[in-house]
Amino acid sequence: MNDVRFYKILVATNALIPLALLAVDAWRGRLGANPIEFFLRTTGVLTLVFLVVTLSVTPLRKMFGWNSLVKYRRMLGLFSFFYGALHLLTYSVFDRGSSLSSIVGDVAQRPFIAIGMAAFFMLIPLAVTSTNGWIKRLGGKKWARLHKLTYVAAILGVVHFWMIVKSDIFYPALFGIALAGLLAYRLVKSRRSSAVKRTTPAEAATPPS
C-alpha cells in the first residue's frame, strides 16, 4: 500500500468517526430529549467543518509547501457534501416526514431553511464535477471558476448556522472568522497575481539599458 492510499484511508476513517459515534449514541438513546435536532445540528456543523478544511488546503499548501495536501482535497470536499446530504435528508424525512407541502411551508416561514438548502444545492454540481473526467470536460479554468461556489456555499452555511442559534453565536462566529481569513488570503493572492500580470508585460517591453 502506497502512502497516498494509506493517508486517504486514514482521512476517510477519521471523517466517519463522528457518524459512528452518533450511531452509537443513537443506539444507546443518548442523543438528548430531541434526537432529531441533535442529529441535525451535528451533521450541519460537520458539513461546515469539512467545507472550511477543504478551503484551507490551498492556503496551507502555498504557505507551507505542503503540496501533497491537494491529493486529499477532493475527498474532504466530498465529505462536506456527504454530511450536508445527511443533514438535508434528516430534515426532510425525519423532521418533515417526507412531506413536500410541509417542507415548502417551513421554508416560507423560516428563511434560514431556504439559505441552508441553497448552500447544499450549490454543493451538488461541485460533487458531481469533482472527478478528473469532469475537469477534462470543463477545462481547468472553467472547473476552477465553478468550484469557487464552495466559498459561496460556506458563507451561506455560516449564515444558516448563525440564524439558527440566534443569541449563542460563539460557534458560528468561529466559522465566520475562519472563513473570513480564507477569503482575505484569497483576495490578497488574487491582487498580487493581478499586479504581477500587469507589470510583467511592461517589464518585457522595456529595452535593456
pLDDT digits (tens, 9 = 90+) for 1-29: 568 889 999 999 999 999 999 999 999 98
Burial-class residue 167 by CB neighbours within 10 Å (0-12, 13-18, 19+).
exposed
Interval 74-118: pLDDT, tens: 999 999 999 999 999 999 999 999 999 999 999 999 999 999 999
Tell if the pTM clears 0.85, that is, is over it. yes
Q: pLDDT at position 140, please?
A: 86
Query: How far apart (Å, rounded) are the C-alpha atoms in residues 76 and 49?
Result: 10
Q: pLDDT at position 1, please?
A: 58
Q: Where are the beta strands (DSSP E) in 23-62?
A: none
Contact predicate 39/90, CB 8 Å: yes
Mean pLDDT of the chain: 89
